[in-house]
Structure 1
Amino acid sequence: MSNMRADLTLCLVLLGGAAGAFELPAPVTDADYLPVSEAEAALGQLLFYDPILSGNENISCSTCHHPRFGTSDGLSLGMGEGGIGLGPDRVADPANVPEDRVPRNAPALYNLGARAFTHMFHDGRVERVNGALRVPIEDGFFAEVSGILATQAAFPVLSPDEMGGNVSENPLSKAIRMGRFSGEGGAWDMIAAKVSGIPEYQARFEEVYPEIAAGREIGFADISNAIAGFMAFEFRADDSAFDRFLREEAELSDQAAEGMALFYGEAGCAACHAGPFQTDHDFHAMGQPQLGPGKTLDFERGSRDEGRFRVTGKAEDLYAFRTPSLRNVTLTAPYGHAGAYRDLRSFIVAHLAPADSLLHYDRAQAILPDLPVEDWEVMETEADVAAILSAIEVEDRTLPEAGIDALMAFLAALEDDPDRLGIPERVPSGLSFEK
C-alpha cells in the first residue's frame, strides 16, 4: 500500500470510525470498458449531431446532450420538439409551441460504455439483468443492437416531446402515435430509410459494417450501434485528479483529500455513490422535489413521477431513482431527476436533509423556459408531498460549511471533460445543428 493510500485509510478511520468508513475503489482500467471501434465512433459522431434522426429534422441527440453543458442541456426539464436554441437559452418556438416539457432531467453520458453500467434512464426501464436485456416494449429490434447503450439510444426518437414531433405533424410522429416502430411504416425503419438515402452516410456505413458493404440495408440498429460507439468513445472520463491519485501518479489538494475522507467516511456518501464511477447502480428514494408533467399514463390524473416503481411495481421502489455517477458532476447542472436544483452546493445541502429540503424547496432553483403549462401540481398537492416524504430512505442531517467546501473540492477532483472527436463542422444531411 502506498503512503498516500495508507494516509487516507487512517483518515477514513479517524473521521468515519472503522464501521463507518468505505474502501476506495480500485483504479479504472481499459478492462472496465467494452471495446470500441474508432471508425464506428466517428460514424456515430455524425449521427449524434445530425437532426436527420428527428421527425421535423430540427433536433439532434446533442440538443439535449451537449458537451457545452456536461453532456446534458443546462435545463431542469428539457425542451425538445418546439424549442429553439441551445441550453438555458432554449425557448419555445412561437410557431410550434411544445405540448409539454420533457418529464425528466437530461442525464449525463459520461462512462456509459463501461461494463458496470447495466441500467439506463432515471428509472432503469432499460436494463440488463443476469445477462438478459429488459426493455419496456416488445420488438425484435432489440435482438439486433450491440448492447444496452445502443438500446438506450433507440428510445429518444420515439418520444414526441424529445425528437418525434407533435401529433400528426410529420410521418414519424404519426407512426409513433400508432405504436409502429419496426417494419414497413415503422418509426425506426422510417429514420433508417432517410439516413440510407444520403449517399455519404451509405458510404460511411459500408466502410464500418462489412455486411452493409455486402448488400444488407442500413437498419436503425446500425444507427443505434454507431451512436453508442460514439458515446462510449467520446465521453469516457477516467483521467481526473481522483483517477491519477488512485493510480498513485499524483496527490490531491489538501481540501479535496479532506472531502474524499468525508465522502468515504463520516458523510456516508459512498453508501450509494460507491464503486469506480461513484454509483451503486441501484435506486433510492431521496425526496427530490417534483416538477413538470410527471411520468403517468395517458389515462391517469396528476403529474406524479413514481420512479422505479413504474418499472417493478414494488411498493418499496416508490419515488426511487437511479443513483447517478458523479464523474464530471460539477459540469452537469441542474441536479436531481427533475433538475430541481440549479447549483451543486444547494443540491448537496438538500441531499443531506431531504425531508426538510422538500418542505422548504425554493422554486427559483429550477431552470425552466417559459411554457404555458402547469409545473407545480405535485408540490401543491399535500397528499403527493406526503407520499414523497414517506418514501425517503435516510434521516436528515447537516454538515458544517467547511465540510461542504471540502466535499465540493473532492467532487471537482472527479472532473475530466474529454474531447476526442469533438463537434463536427458539418453533418452529411446538410442540416444545421447547434454548436
Structure 2
Amino acid sequence: MPEANARFADHSLEEITLGRLLYYDPILSGSKTVSCASCHHPRFATGDGVSLGLGDGGLGLGPDRRIDPDNSPEQRIPRNAPALFNLGAEEFTRFFHDGRLEADPTRPSGLRTPLGADMERGFASALAAQAMFPVLSGDEMAGHYSENDVAQAVRQGVLTGEGGAWSILSARVEAIPQYRKQFDAVIGERSIAFADIANVIAAFIAFEWRADNSPFDAFLRDGTPLPAAAMRGMDLFYGAAGCSACHAGQFQTDHDFHAIAMPQIGPGKAARFERHNRDVGRMRVTGNAEDAYRFRTPTLRNVTRTAPYGHAGAFATLDAVVRHHLGPIASLRRYEASQMVLPTPAFDTDLAVLADFDEIARIAAANELPSQSMSDADIADLLAFLETLTDPQSLSGRLGVPETVPSGLTVD
C-alpha cells in the first residue's frame, strides 16, 4: 500500500494568480473563443464531461457544448480530456494518453516532445510544456485552416521561434497592460516568452487541483478508518483483484502504458493526410509494434467524478469501466454505442472503428489484461473504495473561476 509522501513544487502567489487568469482566458486560442477551461473545467472535475469534446468551433460547456453554425469543427477532439488532479506532483513526468511529452534530462530543453529539436527552452516542468501543446492543435485551440494568424502558422508548420504560433500568442498577452504588469512581478521587465505563460499556468494547475486530502489519505496518515465496504474494496484493490499492479503508488498509477482492449470511438489519432480512424496509442510515439494500443495508466484520484472513462471516453460510468477490466476482450466485442457521451450532432467518424471488424480484432489481440471473475458485491466494494479517493476541496478548486479576465473576453 502506498505511503503519503508525494512531493509538490512550490510556486509564488503571483505565479498562481497570473496562471489562473490565463487558464480561463480565451486569448490563448487562435480565434479567441476557447480557453484551457473549455475542456478542463472544475464543473466537470477538470475534464469536460463528454467522451470526446469539441474545441474550436464549439459553444457552451460539457455535454451542453454544441457546434457553432458559423464555424463548424472539422472533427471531434480525438481523445478524452483527462483530469488535472495532482499533476504538480513530481511523480508526474509523462503527459497525454500516449506519453508523447515527457521529462528527458538528456535533451537541451529537458523534455522529449513532438517538436523534437525545435522545442524551445525555458519550461519549468513537463507539466508546463504539456499545458501549452493544445494551443497548437487546430481541433482544440488553434482553429481551422487559415481562419486566424495562429491557425495559419500551425498549418504552415511554423510553431516555435520568431513568427511562430507560440510567438504570436505571447505577443497578444504582452500587449495587454494588466498581464504585462503581473508578469513584471514574476519575470521582471523582459519580454514575455511563451514558456513564461506555460510556467504560470502550470503553477496554477498544481496549486488549484492538488488532491491529497481524501479519506484514503487520512487512512494513510493516521489510520482514520474507512467505511466497512471501502475497507473490503481496498483489500480487493491491493489484493485479489490485482488493480494495484497498474494503479500503484499514492495516486494509483504506475505512469506506464498498457493495452486493455479499450473501445475506440471518434476520429482516431491521425495526421490530416491519413485516411484511417485508428488510434494505436503509445506505438505512435515509439514506433514499436509491442506498444500498439497501449495507453497511459490514469491516476484514480477523484475518479468517481471524472467520467467518461478510457482514452476515448468510451464508458460513461465507473461501474462499466470496472466491469470492462474483468473481461476486456468480451467487453470490447459487445460494446454498445449507447455508452458514449457525445455532444450532437453526430460525425461520420463517431462509430467508424466500431464497424471495422479487422481493427477490433487488432485491438483485442493486443490486450494484456487477463480476465477474472468478480461478484456484484465485490464490484460494489471496489467502487466504495474508489469513492474514498475523493478530495472535495480539489474538486471545487482553491481559487475558483474568475468573473473576468484581463483580455475582456468571455469566461466559460
- Per the normalisation by structure 2, the TM-score is 0.96
CA distance in 2 between counterparts of 1:159 and 1:96 reads 16
Partner of 1:143, secondary structure, is coil
1:136-147 paired onto structure 2 within 5 Å = 136-138=114-116, 141-147=119-125
Q: Is the contact made by 1:349 and 1:398 (CA closer than 8 Å) also made in structure 2?
A: no
**Matched residue pairs, number?**
405
Which residue of the partner structure matches residue 84 of structure 1?
59
* Offset of residue 73 of structure 1: 0.1
What amino acid is aligned across from residue 381 of structure 2 in structure 1? A
CA distance in 2 between counterparts of 1:80 and 1:249 reads 44
1:367 aligns with 2:345: no
Q: Is the contact made by 2:21 and 2:405 (CA closer than 8 Å) also made in structure 1?
A: yes
CA distance in 1 between counterparts of 2:95 and 2:134 reads 12
Deviations 1:117-137 (A, max 9, x none): 110000000012466421111
Deviations 1:277-318 (A, max 9, x none): 000000000101011110123333310000000111111100
CA distance in 2 between counterparts of 1:194 and 1:62 reads 19
* Aligned counterpart in structure 2 of residue 401 of structure 1, from 342, 354, 376: 376
Which residue of the partner structure matches residue 146 of structure 2?
168
* Aligned counterpart in structure 2 of residue 57 of structure 1, from 32, 52, 65: 32
Which residue of the partner structure matches residue 312 of structure 1?
286
What amino acid is aligned across from residue 406 of structure 2 in structure 1? P
Which residue of the partner structure matches residue 3 of structure 1?
none
Which residue of the partner structure matches residue 101 of structure 1?
76
1:218 aligns with 2:192: yes
Change (3 A) 1:371 1:81: farther
* Offset of residue 249 of structure 1: 5.2
* Aligned counterpart in structure 2 of residue 279 of structure 1, from 253, 266, 271: 253
CA distance in 2 between counterparts of 1:38 and 1:186 reads 30
Unaligned runs of 5+ in 1: 1-23
1:126 aligns with 2:101: yes
* Offset of residue 141 of structure 1: 4.8
What amino acid is aligned across from residue 77 of structure 1 in structure 2? L
Partner of 1:142, secondary structure, is coil
Unaligned runs of 5+ in 2: none
Q: Is the contact made by 2:120 and 2:160 (CA closer than 8 Å) also made in structure 1?
A: no
* Offset of residue 227 of structure 1: 0.4
1:153 aligns with 2:127: no
Partner of 1:127, secondary structure, is strand
Which residue of the partner structure matches residue 12 of structure 2?
37
1:246 aligns with 2:220: yes
Which residue of the partner structure matches residue 268 of structure 2?
294
Partner of 2:365, secondary structure, is helix
CA distance in 2 between counterparts of 1:89 and 1:351 reads 30
1:232 aligns with 2:209: no
Q: Is the contact made by 2:403 and 2:411 (CA closer than 8 Å) also made in structure 1?
A: no
Q: Is the contact made by 2:161 and 2:167 (CA closer than 8 Å) also made in structure 1?
A: yes
Deviations 1:233-275 (A, max 9, x none): 1111000000000001511111111110000001000000001
1:349 aligns with 2:323: yes
Partner of 1:349, secondary structure, is helix
Which residue of the partner structure matches residue 384 of structure 1?
359
Partner of 1:232, secondary structure, is helix
1:182 aligns with 2:156: no
* Offset of residue 28 of structure 1: 3.3
Partner of 2:46, secondary structure, is coil
Q: Is the contact made by 1:302 and 1:378 (CA closer than 8 Å) also made in structure 2?
A: no
- Per the normalisation by structure 1, the TM-score is 0.91
What amino acid is aligned across from residue 230 of structure 1 in structure 2? F
Which residue of the partner structure matches residue 47 of structure 1?
22
CA distance in 1 between counterparts of 2:235 and 2:267 reads 39
* Structure exhibiting the larger radius of gyration computed from Cα positions: 1
Which residue of the partner structure matches residue 116 of structure 1?
91
Change (3 A) 1:140 1:315: closer
CA-based RMSD of the aligned residues comes to 1.2
